Chain A
């Protein structure tokens, strides 16, 4: 997993509530067996429906931050949504809230999610929507600031922060605890009749 420390970039502003995973990456693109290449079809339908859609803007490519509305990433569990955003170049998303499964998936891939109050997100949206300014994120200090002086601190749980800063991986962490896991599982009582179906 890629480590996350500091980032300074223009931001793409998508002030929509309930951006769902079908919008982010439509299901017909999920037949790939790879993690790569999904960025090409990021928000495909919205990009096709209107040339004004923000991801069609000349400045969108190369912007590494997305600002969006509450409940971002709702819907399906497809991690492809996170892969598509990251493949496009997004490294951080600022929104009032995120859906649970999307947030879990983001944490597994080093995509930083920043939760901010809705009025602060709206303010950022107003400042950043024409790509004329940049947004800086300092994860260690838990601060974000725009090039014209708006500054907010943000909250992130200590465990997630450390994982992101170090680029640590959940699977390495779990594998390191394998003896605890095996001891636990050997004592566990479940009633799955595993042999009947062969």
Chain B
């Protein structure tokens, strides 16, 4: 098991492995996305109250889920980097940030588009929307810090500490915002209360979440490979790789 762990820490091994796996992962993601979208957009029944508008959920919910998953992964990779001083962990962490930020932005935009027909407004200081916005700020802070420090090793460590501080704060932010919302918001707009989601909608949603997850990996891998090539640019194998 430990040899596997050491291998994972080797940029060269990861580069070659992910190069081989890339088309398969990407293909799987595409199949899932296309299939899940078709299922969600055409086969699944429309919502009783919201009609077809509700189908935006099949994009919105997976994006929101992945925006948080990517942050968690970033923080865990950061912690691994700080504790075991693994080069690869830092690379993974840095590569997660822009993708996670993109998912966060997508969740916000689809949320706004969904809010207009159902709540009558693009933006509502709803607890979840607000904490999603703050999550975007945290991503931006992480990327800005990493970008501002020129020395890569220093930047990795500083950004890693920030990611961990952020992940400790995230639940606190989330609960404070939810709570703040529940006290401040008078019942001007009522969200449609549904006790639970119907199975006909649940399955395509689960397929979409899984597909987004695979898609995340498929986008993460080229990002990681780019970082590897840049950081290992003085090694012989990268020079051979690039020239061939």
Q: Do these two chains really belong together in a complex?
A: no
List chain A positions with a Cβ less than 8 A from chain B.
none
